[in-house]
């Protein structure tokens, strides 16, 4: 059974070679480049016709239309969802291909072992930890939510869970530096604020729920200083998402500052006349 890889990228010349070598087993790689200014596309094209390059603008806020580019150009029934942060172990690939090649495999989604590293750290106490993740999905099972950010793509169908493995996994090696983390988060925050269904109440409740999760369920603080850092980094995302949504729906700083400046300048004019 054929499989397509979805790979959205922007200025990934340092990582794109390793990423593509990890996907070379796929039948096609749909690379959606957001007008990179470095050698990303040049390197990608060096892998031959298997890598099909498509372009879209790199918006200031997250734009879920990258999924439409992929779905419009994907020719295989099965897909693997990838980023430049990802690499996958060959033993896991063997298990995946064995499953999708079975004629009697009546599933639409395969949850695979997934190791998510944040700033070089991965732990079962990490707020981002997950044993399995739905990364192998039939094209027909992908539903796009245009207002979504992290949940822009939703998957509908029967799920098959591969046995968890600490070694034979897909590795998500993201946020190599704090600066990179903040740059990416800003795009996500803007994307969340652009959602027409912004709810400050729901956003505030989400912050509280995530706080409870990392304190009382994951107990991330037991990781020591590393855990405290991960807690702060994790919660800051949801807290700043609230701030961006507040600014979008209720912020009025420009008008307020203009009013104050106008009042003060008028007072200066009155003082000068006298």
Please indicate, yes or no, whether residues 27 and 159 belong to a single structural domain of this protein. Answer: yes
Tally of CB atoms within 10 A around 155: 15
User: Is residue 225 a part of any domain in this protein?
Assistant: yes
Where does the chain show beta strands of DSSP type E? 3-9, 28-33, 51-55, 78-81, 86-88, 109-118, 132-138, 142-144, 153-155, 159-161, 170-174
| 3-state helix vs strand vs coil in the chain, percent to 5 | 45, 20, 35
pLDDT tens, residue order, the chain (274 aa)? 799 999 999 999 999 999 999 999 999 999 999 999 999 999 999 999 999 999 999 988 998 999 999 999 999 999 999 999 999 999 999 999 999 999 999 999 999 999 999 999 999 999 999 999 999 999 999 999 888 888 899 999 999 999 999 999 999 999 999 999 999 999 999 999 987 777 899 999 999 999 999 999 999 999 999 999 999 999 999 999 999 999 999 999 999 999 999 999 999 999 987 6
Please indicate, yes or no, whether residues 111 and 234 belong to a single structural domain of this protein. Answer: no
Tally of CB atoms within 10 A around 87: 17
Rounded to whole angstroms, the Cα distance separating 30 from 56 reads 13
Please indicate, yes or no, whether residues 170 and 238 belong to a single structural domain of this protein. Answer: no
Residue 244 to residues 187, 190, 239, Cα–Cα distance (Å): 11, 7, 9
pTM as predicted: 0.93
Please indicate, yes or no, whether residues 209 and 153 belong to a single structural domain of this protein. Answer: no
User: Is residue 141 a part of any domain in this protein?
Assistant: yes
Range of the domain at 12: 3-174
Q: Which residues pair with 242 in a beta bridge?
A: none
Residue 274's pLDDT is 67
């Amino acid at each position: 059974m054929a499989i397509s890889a979805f790979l959205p990228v922007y200025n990934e010349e340092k990582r794109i070679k390793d990423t593509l070598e990890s996907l070379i087993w796929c039948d096609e790689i749909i690379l959606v480049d957001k007008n990179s200014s470095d050698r990303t596309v040049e390197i990608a094209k060096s892998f031959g016709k298997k890598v099909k390059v498509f372009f879209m603008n790199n918006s200031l806020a997250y734009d879920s239309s990258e999924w439409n580019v992929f779905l419009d150009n994907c020719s295989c029934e099965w897909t693997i969802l990838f980023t430049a942060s990802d690499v996958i172990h060959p033993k896991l690939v063997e298990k995946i291909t064995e499953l999708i090649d079975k004629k009697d495999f009546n599933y639409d989604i395969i949850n695979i072992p997934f190791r998510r590293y944040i700033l070089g750290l991965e732990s079962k106490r990490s707020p981002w930890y997950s044993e399995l993740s739905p990364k192998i999905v039939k094209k027909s099972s992908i539903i796009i939510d245009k207002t979504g950010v992290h949940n822009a793509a939703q998957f509908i169908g029967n799920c098959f869970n591969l046995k968890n493995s600490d070694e034979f996994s897909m590795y998500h090696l993201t946020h190599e530096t704090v600066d990179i983390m903040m740059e990416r988060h800003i795009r996500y925050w803007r994307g969340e604020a652009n959602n027409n269904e912004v709810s400050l109440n729901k956003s505030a409740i989400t912050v509280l729920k995530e706080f409870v999760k990392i304190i009382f369920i994951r107990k991330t603080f037991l990781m020591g200083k590393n855990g405290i850092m991960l807690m702060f980094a994790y919660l800051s995302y949801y807290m700043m998402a609230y701030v961006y949504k507040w600014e979008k729906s209720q912020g009025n700083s420009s008008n307020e500052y203009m009013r104050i400046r106008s009042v003060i300048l008028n007072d200066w004019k009155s003082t000068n006349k006298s």
